[in-house]
Structure 1
Amino acid sequence: MPGLQHYTAQGYEAYKQTLETIGKGKRVVALFTGSKNLSTGQSWCPDCVVAEPIVDQVIQDTVVAAIDVHFITVFVGNREVWRDPAVGFRTDPSLKLTCIPTLLEVGNKAKRLLEGQIANKNLVKDFFVDED
């Protein structure tokens, strides 16, 4: 079914499993963000707190919602997990994340938005609409 399909993954292994579930040959976009504190519902990552509602607003936009894309919100873990240089998000050759939030098109290393760029609604919208 065409249109945006949304998934959520908690941690690196769940991210890899979600990719397997989606399957090959599909356009997949992932937002890597800090996990939320269960009592506050807020991420420990201040840039993530700013970026998430912007991405949510863009993916609910009618133009973006009509695009055939699988979107994964990936929670990277708490601050200690994220800062570990051996964490899969940092070591996986297809990701090599250096900061969060990061918005990227899976399989297209050149197509990513980092930190403050994700706070720009127009950049985020163009990211989804431009299929290069």
Structure 2
Amino acid sequence: MTEPPLSAADRYREVAALATQGAQQLRDHERAKAQRLRDELPDGRARLTEAEAEHAEVVDGVRKRWDHAMDALFDEKWMQVSRMPDADSDAEPCAPSEAIRRVQVAYLELRDTLGQPGWRATSWLPRRPWRSRRRGPED
């Protein structure tokens, strides 16, 4: 047998009950999500504090090595010494300890180059392919 059709009032109550149930489920979901975020917040703050400390350590390490490099180049009157350049945004990401190590290696290479007899600034710069070729009549 077929059931008699619901009246408009009964259908309204049915739809209102479904909407109320959906709203309650959404509130429960949002409360649970807010609690998860509150639980994660201390860990996020700790990671942020750690990242800020690592950043400060890298900046300090780079600044110290820059200052040492400028001291090493002080007697080279022909070389114009500038302020420390801004960070290279195109550099590949790496761990803070690796960043400091790379700067230290570059600084030590500079010191070694400056210690060599008869060094030239161009001997320290990387070779470019277009400079290494001799221009002949065909060029």
The structure with the larger Rg is 2
TM-score between both structures, scaled by the size of structure 1:
0.30
Higher relative contact order (CA 8 A, sep 6+): 1
More helix by share: 2
